[in-house]
Amino acid sequence: MTKAAFRDHLGRPIVAVTGMGVVTSLGQGLADNWAALTGGVSGIHAITRFPVDGLNTRISGMVDFVDVPVENPVERSYAYARETTDEALAQAGLSGDFGGPLFLAAPPIEPDWRDRFALADRAAPSQRPGDAYDRFLAVLRENPSPALHEAWAFGSISERLSDRYGTRGLPVTLSTACASGATAIQLGVEAIRQGRTDRALTVGTDGSVTAEALIRFALLSALSTQNDPPQKASKPFSKDRDGFVIAEGAATLVLESLESAVARGARVLGILKGCGEKADHFHRTRSSPDGGPAIATIRAALEDAGIDEVGYINAHGTSTPENDKMEYLSMSAVFGEKLPAIPVSSNKSMIGHTLTAAGAVEAVFSIQTMLTGTLPPTINYQNPDPAIVLDVVPNVKRDAAVTAVLSNSFGFGGQNASLVMTAEPA
Residues of this chain, 49-108, that bind other proteins according to CB under 8 A: 50-55, 106, 108
Which one of the spans 21-29, 60-68, 166-174, 320-328 is the region binding other proteins (CB under 8 A)?
166-174
SS (HEC) of 184-198: HHHHHHHHHHCCCCC
SS (HEC) of 13-72: ECEEEEEEEEEECCEECHHHHHHHHHCCCCCCEECCCCCCCCCCCCEEECCCCCCCCCCC
Nearer to other proteins, 86 or 110 (CB): 110
How would you class 7 by CB atoms within 10 Å of its CB: exposed for 0-12, middle for 13-18, buried for 19 or more?
Answer: middle
Which one of the spans 60-68, 88-96, 152-160, 226-234 is the region binding other proteins (CB under 8 A)?
152-160
Out of 127, 284, 337, 399, the only residue in the binding site for other proteins (CB under 8 A) is 284
9, 45, 149, 178: which one is catalytic? 178
At 196, the amino acid letter reads R
Q: Binding to other proteins by residue 336, rule CB under 8 A? A: no
Residues 131-150 contacting other proteins, CB under 8 A: 131-134, 136-137, 140-141, 144-146, 148-149
| CA nearest to 206, candidates 169, 167, 240, 177 | 177
- How many residues bind to other proteins according to rule CB under 8 A? 79
Residues 103-132 contacting other proteins, CB under 8 A: 106, 108, 110-111, 113, 116-117, 119-121, 126, 129-132
Chain-centre distance of CA 318, in angstroms?
12
Active site residue 178: yes
- The site string for other proteins over 179-218 (x = CB under 8 A, - otherwise) reads ----x---x--xx-xxxx--------------xx--xxxx
**Phi, psi of 416, deg, nearest 5:** -140, 130
Residues 343-402 contacting other proteins, CB under 8 A: none
Count how many residues are written for the chain: 426
CB under 8 Å to 404, separation ≥6 — which residues? 273, 305, 307, 309, 310, 311, 312, 420, 421, 422, 423
CB under 8 Å to 281, separation ≥6 — which residues? 288, 414
Which one of the spans 175-183, 242-250, 377-385, 402-410 is the region binding other proteins (CB under 8 A)?
175-183
Run of H or E including 217? helix 211-219
Nearer to other proteins, 105 or 261 (CB): 105
Minimum separation from the CB atom of position 141 to other proteins (A): 6
**Phi, psi of 188, deg, nearest 5:** -65, -45
Nearer to other proteins, 138 or 400 (CB): 138
Active site residue 316: yes
Q: Binding to other proteins by residue 227, rule CB under 8 A? A: no
Which one of the spans 158-166, 323-331, 374-382, 388-396 is the region binding other proteins (CB under 8 A)?
158-166
* 145: number of Cβ within 10 Å: 14
Nearer to other proteins, 129 or 386 (CB): 129
- The site string for other proteins over 254-283 (x = CB under 8 A, - otherwise) reads -----------------------xxxxxxx
Nearer to other proteins, 95 or 143 (CB): 143
Minimum separation from the CB atom of position 416 to other proteins (A): 9
Minimum separation from the CB atom of position 340 to other proteins (A): 30
Distance CA 366, CA 314 (A): 6
Q: Binding to other proteins by residue 154, rule CB under 8 A? A: yes
Beta strands 15-24 and 27-28, pairing class: antiparallel
- The site string for other proteins over 287-316 (x = CB under 8 A, - otherwise) reads ------x-----------------------
Active site residue 281: no
Distance CA 175, CA 105 (A): 6
Out of 23, 89, 172, 358, the only residue in the binding site for other proteins (CB under 8 A) is 172
Distance CA 36, CA 365 (A): 12
Q: Do residues 423 and 271 lie in contact, with contact meaning Cβ atoms separated by under 8 Å?
A: yes
Task: Give me the active site residues, please.
Answer: 178, 316, 353
